[in-house]
Amino acid sequence: NIFFTVSNTLTDIFLSGEREADPSIKILGIDDESLERIGRWPWPRDILADLTDDLVNHGAKAVFVDVLYTEESDDPKQDARWQEVLDQHENVYFPMYFTLSPYQEDPHRLSYDRANFPIYDIDEDQLAHINAWEGSDRVVREVLLGIPLDENTVIPAMAVRLANLYLPDDFQITWTKDNEWFYGDIPIATGNYTQVYFSYTSTPTDRKFEIIPIADAIDGTVDLSHFKDATVLIGPYSVGLQDMYYVPNSQTRMFGVELHANIMQSLIDGMIFNEVSPVAGMMVIGLLAGLAYFLMERVNARRAILVAVLFIVTYTIVFHFVLERQNLILPLFYVVFAIIVCYVTSIVSQYLLERRERSRVTGLSGRYVSQAVVDEILSNPDAIKLGGERKDVTLLFIDIRGFTPLSEKMEPEDVINVLNEYLDLCTQAIFKYGGTLDKFIGDGVMAIFGAPVPQEDHAKRAVLAGIELKSQADELNRRIEEKYGRSVRFGMGINSGPAVIGNIGSKERLEYTAIGDTVNLASRLESNAKPGQILISEETYRRVKDDFVFKELPPLKVKGKEKPVNVYEVEGKIIG
C-alpha cells in the first residue's frame, strides 16, 4: 500500500534523531574476517563459551550471546562448558525465539506455535526473546517489550534485559500480569501486542556502536580489559549468516546484533513511542481537514494555498512537539494528505462555482452584447475598465415608427409581445455584427460598435446591422398589418467618431454607455429618419462609402449644431 509506505517513511524521518551511542555498548561481530581466521560457521561451542568467560573475568558488565543453542552439540563437552559458564556468571544472557503463529486471532495477545529455548539450565533472569517485530513492509520500527509465555509469564525482549542494567533501580522497565508495562511507576503506552516504536541511534552505513571482529578478541589482538564495564553483544555480522533486517533509515539491511544494540540504546534514552489510537487519529484527521476546508472555502485560490501551507507547517510543529514531549505519534501523512485533498477539493469547488457564475454572467451578458464580445471580455477583463475612456466608435440608434398609434388598438399584453418581437430583431442584428446593446429607450434601441472590444471596421458593422434589421423586419411587418391593419417601420441613425465610453454613474449604480457629441448626433439622425430609412453622418459616410450604395440628402439642421450637417441615406450593399 503506497499510502502506508509514504506514511511510515514520513514518520521515520522524525524518529531518526541524531544522537551518540553509549560507548560502553560494544559489539563483537562474527564477521567475514573472523570466519576466515577461525573457520566456517558453526564453530565449536566452547570457543564462544571460553570467550564469554574471559570477558566476564576481565570486568565486562554483561555479555549477550546472540546465538540460538536449541539443540545439543555432537560433543557433550562443549555443552558442558557452556553450562559451566552460565552457572558461574549471572550476567551472561542467552536468547530464545518464539515461532509466532502466522494468523493472530486474539488482537490483544500474541500467540505462538513454538517457544525455542536454549538447551541449557539457565536462570529466567538471564533469558530473553530476540523476536524482531517487522511491519507489513518488513521494516523493523517497533520492539515487542515482552511476549507472554503463558498466563503468568512474559519473556521480555533482550534489549529490555540489557537496558535495565543501565536504568536506575526506581526506573526499571517492568510488566504486570495485566500486561501493562512501566518505566518505574510511569506507564508505557504500548500497542496491543506490547509493541512500541523506538528510535535508531545508528544506521547500517553510519555505525555509532563500537564493532570489533570477534577474532580479534579470541586471538588476543584486542586486550579483553578493553571490555571492562562494557555490555558486550556477540552475534553474526556476516551476510552469509543471514541474520539481517530492513530498517527505516537505510536501504542497507542491519545485522540482528546491531539491531538489539539500537533498541537497547533507545530504551536507555527513553526514546520509545506509541501511536495514538485509530479512533483518536481519525478524529484528528477529520477535525483538521474540516477546519482547513472551512477556511479555504472562504478565501480565494491564492490564499487557500497559504491556508493549506499554514495548517501543514503548524501541524508538523505540533506533531514534533507531541513526539518530543509525550512520546506520542500523531497521524502525520494522513493529516497532510487530507489537507492537500481539501485544498484540491476547495480549488475544484471554487473553479466549478466560478464556471457556473461565468456561465450565468455569460448568459446575462449575452443578452446585452454578442457572444464574441462576451468571450473577449471574459478572456480579457481589462477590456472594460472602471471610469470613462475616450474611444473611436460608431453609434446606432433605432426607433420604431408608428408603434404608438398601433398600441392604442391592442391589449396591453399584445403590446408587450409585439414590442419584444421588434426589439428581438434589433438585438439579433446588432449581435450578428459584434455590436454592444447599450440600452432600450422605450420602443427604441441604442447600440455601440467598437467598444468595449475594439473593432477597426466598426462603422461598416453598424451599417450592416442596420441593413440586416431593415431586411428582417418585412416578415414581422406583414404579420402585424394582417392582424391589426397597420404596420410599423424602423428609423435608424448612425454616426462615427470619438466618444467617452465606460462605466458611468454612481457608486450604487453603474451603467456602461457612451456619451458625447458623437452620440448626440446619432440620436438626432435617428429622430429625423423616416420609417424604413437609415441615415448616416458625413463621418460615417467617409469611412464606408466604398462598401455601400448611398443617396445624398439635403443638409439637415439638427439641435445642438449651428450649421446644417450633411446626411446620407443607406440604400444597400455594393454587390461584388
Q: Report the alpha-carbon distance of residue 535 to residue 15 in Å, rounded.
A: 86
Q: Report the alpha-carbon distance of residue 370 to residue 436 in Å, rounded.
A: 7
499: number of Cβ within 10 Å = 27
In the structure grid, which three cell numbers stand for residue 227, read together? Answer: 571490555
The backbone torsions φ and ψ at residue 555, rounded to the nearest 5 degrees and listed phi first, read -55, 145
Q: Report the alpha-carbon distance of residue 217 to residue 76 in Å, rounded.
A: 25
Q: Report the alpha-carbon distance of residue 551 to residue 571 in Å, rounded.
A: 7
Q: Report the alpha-carbon distance of residue 125 to residue 252 in Å, rounded.
A: 34
Angle at 541 between CA 469 and CA 552, to 5 degrees: 90
Per the model's pLDDT, the better-predicted residue between 230 and 191 turns out to be 230
Among 6-10, 249-253, 567-571, the range with the most confident prediction by mean pLDDT is 567-571
pLDDT tens by residue, 483-498: 777 777 899 999 999 9
pLDDT (0 to 100) of residue 488: 78
pLDDT (0 to 100) of residue 351: 80
Flag the least confident range among 47-61, 373-387, 502-516: 373-387
pLDDT (0 to 100) of residue 570: 95
Which residues touch 562 (CB under 8 Å, ≥6 apart)? none
Residue 280 has pLDDT above 60, yes or no: yes
- How many alpha carbons lie under 13 Å from residue 535 in its C-beta half-sphere? 26
Secondary structure (3-state) at 311: helix
Angle at 337 between CA 331 and CA 343, to 5 degrees: 135
Prior bond of 452 cis (ω within 30°): yes
Which residues touch 105 (CB under 8 Å, ≥6 apart)? 111
Q: Report the alpha-carbon distance of residue 559 to residue 527 in Å, rounded.
A: 11
Q: Report the alpha-carbon distance of residue 362 to residue 372 in Å, rounded.
A: 11
Judging by DSSP bridges, how do beta strands 210-213 and 25-30 pair with one another?
Answer: parallel
Q: Report the alpha-carbon distance of residue 350 to residue 344 in Å, rounded.
A: 10
pLDDT tens by residue, 431-473: 999 999 888 888 899 999 998 889 999 999 999 999 999 988 8
Per the model's pLDDT, the better-predicted residue between 208 and 373 turns out to be 208
Secondary structure (3-state) at 277: coil
User: How far does Cα 203 stand from its chain's mean position?
Assistant: 32
Q: Which contiguous run of DSSP H or E holds residue 121? A: none
Q: Report the alpha-carbon distance of residue 545 to residue 570 in Å, rounded.
A: 10
User: How far does Cα 413 stand from its chain's mean position?
Assistant: 58
Q: Report the alpha-carbon distance of residue 355 to residue 104 in Å, rounded.
A: 53
pLDDT tens by residue, 154-173: 999 999 999 999 999 999 99
Closest CA to 364 of 351, 348, 377, 379: 377
Q: Which contiguous run of DSSP H or E holds residue 417? A: helix 412-432
In the structure grid, which three cell numbers stand for residue 53, read together? Answer: 568467560
Q: Which contiguous run of DSSP H or E holds residue 352? A: helix 333-365
pLDDT (0 to 100) of residue 479: 82
Averaged over 37-52, what is the pLDDT?
96
Write down the pTM of the prediction. 0.66
Residue 104 has pLDDT above 90, yes or no: no
Closest CA to 513 of 521, 502, 524: 502
Task: Kindly state the percentage of the chain with pLDDT values over 90.
Answer: 65
As a residue count, the chain comes to 576
Averaged over 338-353, what is the pLDDT?
89
Measure the CA dihedral 414/418/421/424, to 10°: -100
Burial bucket for residue 72 (CB in 10 Å: 0-12, 13-18, 19+): exposed
Q: Report the alpha-carbon distance of residue 379 to residue 170 in Å, rounded.
A: 75
Residue 408 has pLDDT above 90, yes or no: no
Residue type, 258: E
